Amino acid sequence: MSLSKIFRFVLLLLAVSSCNINGQKYQTLSVADFDKKLHEGNVQIVDVRTPEEYAEKHLKDAVNINFNGDDFVDMVVKLDETKPVLVYCLSGGRSAKAAALISKKGYTQVYNLDGGILAWTAAGQPVEAAAGASSKGLDMDGYLAQVKSDKLVLVDFNAVWCGPCKILKPTLDKIAEKDKDKLILLPLNVDQNSKLSDAMHISGIPLIILYKGGKEVWRNLGLADQKEIEKVIADNSK
């Protein structure tokens, strides 16, 4: 490998492992490293999701400061600057923005959970629920019943706050309308189906899964090209 390629590779690693916002840094950690940081003690854990999401499930000792709340900045500046701040959300998007903002406020020990609580629970890590909270949406039995059909079933795991999900939705709607004689589109909001999301170890969205006769035949995490989706549907319609 040439020196120029090695140099570019090192720069890429640095870009992936941390973000620099106006000279302030926050670090994105894997589930394993985030857990290690937790167990070092003397840390502040911040759940930046909505109060409803927090009530459903959250990490032990986490405080809820809603990133989309009007008082987010006012609450953040009350954190102890001398202690590490560990931030997470559902899949990592909101918490990355929150970590950047917190870091910009002068906090030097800011850590973001890569993949959010979805990755955390998919790795078998423990969570807590608020008193009286109950799991919502489909359970696994209900889901399996939904994907059993004479037609193909395309499941779209999404969330209202997920930007890529919003980009993908018109494509899926167009395909569902065009192929309605052979395809059923099943949109599932992960926030409203948390029990199912945990059971399926969903670690990121948008996630689309194609079922034929109740069996999974294809899946794609992230944005997918319309032609690619149509080809998979066509191949499995034969």
Which residues are annotated as catalytic? Answer: 162, 165
Helices (H) and strands (E) in the chain, counts: 10, 10
Structure tokens at 37: 């940081």
Nearest alpha carbon to residue 85 among 68, 70, 69, 63: 63
Structure tokens at 199: 């059971």
Report the C-alpha gap between 126 and 135 in whole angstroms: 15
Q: Which residues contact 128 (CB under 8 A, 6 or more apart)?
A: 57, 58, 59, 60
Label the pairing between strands 44-47 and 63-64: parallel
- Give me the residue label for tokens 């690693």: 13
Q: Which residues contact 119 (CB under 8 A, 6 or more apart)?
A: 31, 91, 92, 113, 203, 204
Report the C-alpha gap between 219 and 229 in whole angstroms: 10
Whether residue 107 contacts residue 87, with contact meaning beta carbons closer than 8 Å, is answered with: no
Q: Residue 220 phi/psi, 5° resolution? A: -145, 130
Nearest alpha carbon to residue 154 among 121, 177, 122: 177
Cα three-residue angle 35-93-14, rounded to 5 degrees: 70
